[in-house]
Each structure stands twice: as C-alpha cells, then as structure tokens.
Amino acid sequence: MIAGARRRRGPAYSGCGADKFVADLLATVARLRSAEAAGMVLLRADSAFYNQAVAATAARAGAKVSITVKMDPAVKKAISTIDEHAWTKINYTNAIFDEETGTWISNAEVAEIEFTAFTSKKKADQIPGRLIVRRIPELNRKAGTGEQTLFTMHRFHAFFTTVPASVFDTVAADKTHRAHAVIEQLHADLKASARRIRLHLHQDWPWQDNWEKLFDATFPPPKTT
C-alpha cells in the first residue's frame, strides 16, 4: 500500500524535506493502524534519508529506523574496528544485484557493531544504535589470466538501525533491511509508466470505430521484418 507520495520541485536532491515527509507518513500510519496493533513500526530507507532530522522524527513518532548509511569517515572507522571473527556467512535464497559491479551476489558476510550516529551534532541530538555491515569479496577481474590476488579484498555496505538485537539479530536485521528494495522496484515501475499521454474515452462513445481508424492511419504500428 502506498500511504504517502510527494513530488519535488526541479532538481531537488532525494533527501529534500525528508523529515517532514517522514513525519506526515508516520502520522498516516498511526491513523491507519488498528487500536489493537502492538507490532513495531520500522522506517526503512536508502542513504538519501540518512540524516539526524529523519531519525529523530521517526523516534518521536515511536518508530525504529533501518537506513543505509553514507560511507563517511565515522562509518569507515567503525567498520575497521570489527573483529575478524565477528563476521557471519550469509547465503541469499534469491541472489541480490550489486549495482557497483553489475553482478548478482548469492553470498556475503555480515557483522555488526554498536554505533552512535550523527556524532557531529550536540550530545542530545546523537542517536545510539547498531551499524550492520555486509561485506562482499572484491572480484579480481584478472584472475582468469593467472594474476591472482595476494589476499581477499572486500567491499562494504552498511546501514544504521535502532531495532534492538533482541528483536532482530544481525542476519535478520540484514534480511529485513534488504526487503526495502521491493518498494524501490515499485517506484521504478511507476516511473516507467509516467509522463505518457493517455486518452480516456467513454465506453459507449459512438465515434469509437471512426476515431480508431483515423488514429491507426495517422500513427500506424511499426513495420515488422
């Protein structure tokens, strides 16, 4: 169900007005929820929504977050402190598409570390949580020519979540976060059918046959070879 949508003016970046949008969306969710509902409300988003205002807005609405992080120095430093023995291998039932390499990934490793987001803000605005990190082996494109690597390199993808570990362990948190790609595909489908002129006519319009003949004569279908 699409509970909220908003158009941005001109070349506005994806995170423009995100906190206000999130506030309105979570208010709509609260109105739609049954009075008996006791489950967790989780905001999942990509890195465009990774900012303090969005996370704080979700917290005020009683929601948890699961947001892809930008690989800034603080995140990279946190990843570098993860113990090598903390990584857990994960096999994906359905392969996931890696946009950076244009390949499908069926296995990776995940780990997590305690993380306080937005430490550049004052103490009251910082948000504690967990940094869930997925690492994928960096493929050596020259391995097939006999040029082997000395040691395994990895690429890292991380997201910040305020969901307690008692609710989602590392693997479950990763799986739940990746599911937000479903709505991304829906967005792509909606964009693919947008910006097209559609003419809607009455079902019993008396000039339908004549109009269709005129249209087909003016805009004939492409010739097949």
What domains can you pick out in the chain, each with its CATH number?
A: 18-185 (3.90.350.10)
196 pLDDT tier (thresholds 50, 70, 90): confident
> Which pLDDT does position 152 carry in this prediction?
58
pLDDT in tens, 134-172: 998 775 555 455 555 544 578 899 999 999 999 999 999
Higher pLDDT, 132 or 223: 132
The mean pLDDT value of the chain amounts to 84
Residue with the larger pLDDT of the pair 98 and 176: 176
Dump pLDDT digits (tens) for 34-78.
889 889 999 999 898 999 999 999 999 999 999 999 999 999 999
Q: What is the mean pLDDT of the segment spanning 17-35?
A: 92
Q: What is the DSSP string of the chain?
A: ---------TT--TTTTHHHHHHHHHHHHHHHS-TT--SPPEEEE-GGG-SHHHHHHHHHTT-EEEEEPP--HHHHHHHHTS-GGG-EEEEEEEEEEETTTTEEEEEEEEEEEEEEE-TTS-GGG-EEEEEEEEEEEPP-TTGGGT---SS--EEEEEEEE-S-TTTS-HHHHHHHHHTTHHHHHHHHHHHHT-S-------TT-TTHHHHHHHHHHHSPPPPP-
Q: How confident is the model at residue 118 (pLDDT cuts 50, 70, 90)?
A: very high
Residue 148's pLDDT is 53
The larger pLDDT score, comparing residue 202 to residue 142, is at 202
pTM exceeds 0.85 for this model:
no
pLDDT for 95 equals 67
Residue 109 has pLDDT above 60, yes or no: yes
What is the pLDDT confidence band of residue 190, given thresholds at 50, 70 and 90?
confident
